[in-house]
Structure 1
């Protein structure tokens, strides 16, 4: 199984929840706080973090595709 992180940047409200729960996968731009994906293909040991980040995103800007 693999996991792919898809991020809809225009939906992002710069809340930073994803960065707090998955700092190895997400960061925020300094100029506007919008999230950026650091790793769109996390390793299996990061799947739980990726799932939590998607769950806590207030804008539903993170989508996970499992394959």
Structure 2
């Protein structure tokens, strides 16, 4: 598994339940939750933008399903 330079969300506290993001060499982004760091979500930058927009608007049900 590649080694990523993880960044913690500025909204995360020093405890558990932190969201981390890292850039992958192929231009995609990796997201993980600190309580389960082996599970990674891989997103293109536009997909992350859509996810964050939906979360902020409380409209996750509007996102396309895989």
User: TM bucket by the smaller chain?
Assistant: under 0.3
Q: Identify which of structures 1 and 2 has the higher relative contact order when contacts are C-alpha pairs closer than 8 Å and 6+ apart.
A: 1
TM-score (norm 1): 0.24
Greater percentage in helix? 1
The structure number with the bigger radius of gyration is 2
TM-score (norm 2): 0.25
